[in-house]
Amino acid sequence: MSETFKLEITIKTPKSTSGESEETRGSVWFDDQELEKFSIMSGETRKLEHNIEVDDGDHSFTVKHLYSASPTSALVVDQVVMDDINIGVIAYQGVYTPTYPEPWYTDECTAGRTPQETIGQGNNGSACMYMGWEGDYKLKFNTPLYEWLLEHL
């Protein structure tokens, strides 16, 4: 049976170090469906809201950091609300998979400082929600939501 699932994700970007407004672009996905593309300027906070028809079972949502004008910029997943419930620190169970730039990545590996392939799954605190590199933040969960929340409290 399908039910309406309400997803609210608050994103933000740090203020620009240059003082100029800089753009960051991304998108939000639910399972394998793109819900929204967005553009956000440095120092801005935005709430992305979606109502999605879902069946009971396994799901995920992904925030993709696609572009930043400056290497000092970042995309931050500030808050996640599911069906009017702020999931708080449960969001730290998500995984951030950075897309490291070349030749930086190769240079780091050659020097014996291989960067983490994934950040999160409860192992790095809130670091998985701060996307300093382009990449994806993904949180897997299941519905009915209240059962998943009880498992992760």
**Residue 85 confidence (pLDDT):** 96
Q: Mean pLDDT over residues 109-126, rounded?
A: 88
> Hey, what amino acid is at 122?
G
Q: What is the pLDDT at residue 121?
A: 81
Is residue 122's pLDDT more than 80? no
Q: What pLDDT, on a 0 to 100 scale, did the predictor assign at position 152?
A: 86
* C-alpha closest to that of 3 among 59, 52, 50: 52
Give percent above pLDDT 90 in the chain: 84
What lies within 8 Å, CB to CB, of 86 at 6+ separation is: 79, 80
Mean pLDDT of 136-148: 95
**Per-residue DSSP letters for the chain?**
--EEEEEEEEEE-PPPSSSS--EEEEEEEETTEEEEEEEEETT-EEEEEEEEEE-SEEEEEEEEEEEESSTT--EEEEEEEETTEE-GGGGGGSEEEE-PPTTHHHHHHHTT-PPPS-EETTSSGGGGGEESSSEEEEEEEEESHHHHHHHH-
Q: How confident is residue 1, by pLDDT bands cut at 50, 70 and 90?
A: low
Write down the pTM of the prediction.
0.93
- Residue-level pLDDT at 2: 77
Q: Which pLDDT does position 148 carry in this prediction?
A: 94
pLDDT beyond 90 at 111: yes
pLDDT band at residue 110 under the 50/70/90 scheme = very high
Output the CA torsion sign for 2, 79, 23, 98.
negative
pLDDT one-digit tens code per residue, 3-19: 999 999 999 999 988 77
